[in-house]
Amino acid sequence: MMAPALTALVAEKRFPELERKQGGSMLVGLAWSLLSTLLALLALVVSIPLWLIPPLILILPPLIWGWLTYRVMAFDALAAHASGEERREIFRRHRLTLLGIGVFCGYLGAAPSLIWASGALLAAAFVILVPLAVWIYTLVFALSSLWFAHYCLAALKALRAERDAASAAASSAASTEVMAAQALPLPYESTPRLPPSV
């Protein structure tokens, strides 16, 4: 709910010239999010036996949640402005960076868990800790949405600038070829010989 509003704010303030191609409708975004969530849950269930290996419990769940975060947040950030083809190209080019942002946001999302863990010890402060944990969750989601919006819209702007430059270079090369063809001298045509007068 927060991501589209924050993306619109970032687009209005930082990228007002960016054309909106509406490559992802709300229904497509919902289907994308549900499919990504199901895949992430399947990956979590399959990877549970690996959590018994001590370092993997600190790596696998944040990696899976980071993957889910990047898929959902990046889609939301690009839904209104990028076409489907542009979105796929940005996902292909920036996959590792987007995954890194998602994993970092996944680790940030674990911060409220520390509040809940301390809440079991400090039952008297439960009334204060619940709003604090909810506030931290909201702040993490807002920061994640803003980070993805800034990064994805900047990547979209760079992609379009690159394509515009390539298109301009191609049209310039084509016009140069046409001008060169027009400037070539015509081949020598011999004048027809007249029959000798008798």
Sign of CA dihedral 142, 28, 103, 161: negative
Place of tokens 């690996």: 50
What is the C-alpha to C-alpha distance for residues 6 and 147, in angstroms, rounded to an integer?
10
pLDDT exceeds 60 at position 103: yes
Query: Rounded mean pLDDT of the chain?
Result: 83
- What percent of the chain is helix, strand and coil (3-state, nearest 5)? 80, 0, 20
Q: Which pLDDT score is estimated for 148? A: 96
What is the C-alpha to C-alpha distance for residues 193 and 170, in angstroms, rounded to an integer?
46
pLDDT exceeds 70 at position 21: yes
Q: Is 148 exposed, middle or buried (0-12, 13-18, 19+ CB in 10 A)?
A: buried
More confident residue, 186 or 36: 36
What is the C-alpha to C-alpha distance for residues 114 and 119, in angstroms, rounded to an integer?
8
How many Cβ atoms are within 10 Å of 78's Cβ, its own excluded?
A: 26
Structure token digits, residue 128: 């204060």
Q: What type of residue sits at position 33?
A: S
pLDDT exceeds 80 at position 118: no
More confident residue, 126 or 198: 126
- 3-state secondary structure (DSSP) of residue 145: helix
Q: Tell me, what DSSP letter sits at residue 184?
A: S
- Name the CA dihedral angle for 165, 167, 170, 175, rounded to a multiple of 10 degrees: -100
Contact yes or no for 42/83 (Cβ under 8 A): no
pTM value surpassing 0.75: yes
pLDDT exceeds 80 at position 154: yes
Q: Which pLDDT score is estimated for 26? A: 81
- 3-state secondary structure (DSSP) of residue 73: helix
More confident residue, 190 or 42: 42
What does each C-alpha distance from 142 to 70, 93, 94, 105 come to in angstroms? 14, 25, 21, 10
Q: Which pLDDT score is estimated for 124? A: 63
